[in-house]
Amino acid sequence: MKLLFIQNEDGTQEVAEVAAIAETQTDVVAISEQPAPGAEAVAAEAATEAPAAGGGWSFWLMIIAMIAVMYFFMWRPESKRRKQMENFRNNLKKGDKIITAGGIYGTIKEIQPTSLLIEVDSNVTLRVDKNMVVGDPGMNAPVQK
C-alpha cells in the first residue's frame, strides 16, 4: 500500500492512498512522497484501521426479503395452480366436456390412467394425454403457462 502526503491550500496535511486520490482534485497544492512532520502517526492510524464489514445484518435482511417476495409472488401461486390442475385432471369422468392444450374441444368417452379418448365430432375420436387437458369449457379454464 503506497501512501501519499498531501498539503492543501489552507496548509493542512492529509494522508491518502494512491488509489483514493481523484484525478479531478483542484484544491491540492503539493503532493510529495516525503512524510511531513507528525504524519507518521496519521499513516500508522490509517494502516491499522479495519476494513468495513460490508453491511452484515442488512445484507441478510435483504436476501431474506427477496426470498419471501419470490415465495409469495411466484412459488406459492404456481404450487396452488399445479394442485388445482392435478385435482381437476384426477376428477375427470366420462361425459365431461374438456379443452386440450391445443385448443381442441371434446367430450370424454374413455379414461385410461395416462390418457383420454375424447370425441370431438360425431364419429371422430382422439386419444390425448391426460396432462394436456387444461380446462372445462363451462368455466373459465385455468390455462397452463
Q: Where are the domains of the chain?
A: 3-48, 92-145
Taking 70 as the threshold, does the pLDDT of residue 136 lie above it? Answer: yes
Residue 36 CA to residue 46 CA, distance in Å, equals: 15
Longest dimension (CA), the chain: 104
CA dihedral 72, 78, 79, 81 (to 10 degrees): 130
Angstrom CA distances, 41 to 17, 31, 112, 114, 140, stand at 15, 18, 85, 80, 77
C-alpha to C-alpha distance for 52 and 119, rounded to whole angstroms? 70
Question: Of 138 and 18, which is predicted with more confidence?
Answer: 138
Interacting residues of 6 by C-beta distance below 8 A, sequence separation 6+ = 13, 14, 15, 16, 21, 28, 30, 31
Inform me whether the pLDDT recorded for 119 exceeds 60: yes
- What mean pLDDT value characterizes the chain? 77
Round to whole Å and give the CA distance between 103 and 135: 10
Q: How high is the pLDDT of residue 132?
A: 92
What does the pLDDT look like over 10-61, one tens digit per residue? 766 666 655 555 454 555 544 555 555 565 665 566 556 555 555 688 999 9
Per-residue pLDDT at 24: 47
Greater confidence (33 vs 96) lies with 96
Residue 13 is predicted with a pLDDT of 65
Average pLDDT for 86-103:
92
Q: What's the pTM value of the predicted model, to 2 decimals?
A: 0.51
pLDDT bracket for residue 137 (50, 70, 90): confident
Cell 484525478 belongs to residue: 23
CB 133 within 8 A of CB 117: no
Pick the CATH number of 92-145 from 2.60.200, 2.60.40, 2.30.30, 2.40.128: 2.30.30
Percent of the chain having pLDDT more than 90?
A: 50
In the structure, what pLDDT confidence band is assigned to residue 62 with cuts at 50, 70 and 90? very high
